Amino acid sequence: MTGVNAEPTVAPIDALLLVSFGGPEKPDDVVPFLENVTAGRGVPRARLEQVGEHYYLFGGRSPINDLNRELIGAIQKDFADHGLDVPVYWGNRNWDPFLRDACTQMVNDGVRRAAYLVTSAYSSYSGCRQYRENLADATAGLDLELSRLRLYFNHPGFVTPFVEATSEALASAPADTHVVFVTHSIPTDMDAASGGPGAHAYRRQHEEVARLVAEGAGAKSSSLAYCSRSGSPHQPWLEPDINDHLRELAAAGVTSVAGVPIGFVSDHMEVVFDLDTEATQTASELGLTYVRVATPGAHPAFVAMVRDLLLERAAVDRGENPVCAVVGRRGPNPHTCPIDCCPNLRVPLPAVS
């Protein structure tokens, strides 16, 4: 595994923008936040209030913003420790600090070219192109050029923290513990279009990460399940749901399970509610021993990955051909998305990068 072998310079890039989903920080934020998330979909307010109950269980505050602050602090320290004088900005799709505000602030600070990292590691419309559409809106009329850091599902800095955490969990679990890798479900047509027509990149990338982590951690058996299904019940989504899958495993004689949230960079609401609350309760009702494995968060390897990807992208923007750090059987994701990659299946919209 070889990263970028270059002097620590990010020229011609002036700054790094962390791009994330956003989340409420107090009870009064919950429904307005959900209205932003579902804008244009005609979701009744009563349904939003029902979904909001998940957030009220945690004081009306999503963990995502605090985790992003922690990550940004770790990135800033890592940059300073390695001689990189690069400001780090942060913008969200659905809640303060919003992308438009972050982009405007960068321009006001003299930034003309920024690289951006999305807190989503895999190819899909909702995890990549939708953010690029949001960034097109956020930069409209601004003198700001953006370069995307490539998707990093198979970068060692993303895989290694999961291998370490899964190994640690299995070391203190029963010998026959089954590992269930969990990620956010998406519509099957969105999966089919991810990475290009018929590519199913979202599912296949997760299968590759699951294989790498299972092998690295010495798991004796493993499977892939999904969480956080939403939308119309008539629209097919990726399955099995984690709770249904736990029932299937229990019926098959499995008595111990380790849940590994490989679809998530840190402990977002989908992790603390869907896995730590719902799945934990389901496992308890089934008599299963259940442990939830940690996400990367601000793990040193993940933080170092951000620096590696930034240096890599800067080299690409200078016209160089850097060696890209990857593990497994799939090559590095492209630095620039093909035009038919992860399309908007409802209406084509402008997207950056």
Q: Which two tokens stand for residue 68?
A: 């992003």
C-alpha to C-alpha distance for 11 and 88, rounded to whole angstroms: 15
Average pLDDT across the chain, whole number? 95
Q: Which residues contact 262 (CB under 8 A, 6 or more apart)?
A: 162, 181, 182, 183, 206, 209, 210, 213
State the Cα–Cα distance between residues 155 and 4, nearest whole angstrom.
12
What span, in angstroms and rounded, lies between the C-alpha atoms of 94 and 41?
15
Note the pTM of the prediction, 2 decimals.
0.95
For 21-42, the pLDDT digits (tens) are: 999 999 999 999 999 998 877 7
Please give the average per-residue pLDDT across 79-84, as a whole number: 97
- Non-local CB neighbours of 244 within 8 Å, separated by 6+ positions: none
What are the boundaries of each domain within the chain? 15-152+298-317, 156-292
The span from the CA of 126 to the CA of 229, in Å, is 13
Distance CA 160, CA 154 (A): 10
The DSSP code for 208 is: H
CATH class of 15-152+298-317: alpha beta
Q: Cβ atoms within 10 A of the Cβ of 216, count? A: 16
Question: For residue 6, what pLDDT band results from cuts at 50, 70 and 90?
Answer: very low
Confidence of residue 304 (pLDDT cuts 50, 70, 90): very high
Read off the pLDDT band of 7 (50, 70, 90): low
- Listed in order, strand segments (DSSP E) in the chain are 15-20, 88-92, 113-118, 145-148, 178-184, 222-227, 256-260, 289-292
pLDDT above 70 as % of the chain: 98
Residue 1 has pLDDT above 50, yes or no: no
The yes-or-no answer to whether 15-152+298-317 and 156-292 have a common fold is yes
Helix (H) or strand (E) holding 55: helix 45-56
Residue 188 Cα distances to 151, 177, 201, 210, 275, angstroms: 21, 29, 11, 19, 22
Tell me what pLDDT residue 46 has.
83
Token pair for 131: 């953010």
pLDDT at 43 over 80: no
Question: Per-residue pLDDT averaged across 57-68, rounded?
Answer: 96
For 156-292, which CATH class? alpha beta
Does position 287 have pLDDT exceeding 90, yes or no?
yes
What confidence score (pLDDT) does residue 40 get? 77
Q: How far apart are CA 56 and CA 345, in angstroms?
A: 33
Residue in this structure with the two tokens 């010495």, named with its chain if needed: 218
* Contact present, 335 and 4 (Cβ < 8 Å): no
Average pLDDT score over residue span 131-135? 97
pLDDT at 2: 41
Residue 314 scores a pLDDT above 50: yes
Burial of 168 (0-12, 13-18, 19+ CB in 10 A): middle
CB 309 within 8 A of CB 155: yes
Give the span between the Cα atoms of 314 and 309, in whole angstroms: 9
The tens digit of pLDDT for each residue in 201-260 reads 999 999 999 999 999 999 999 999 999 998 778 899 999 999 999 999 999 999 999 999
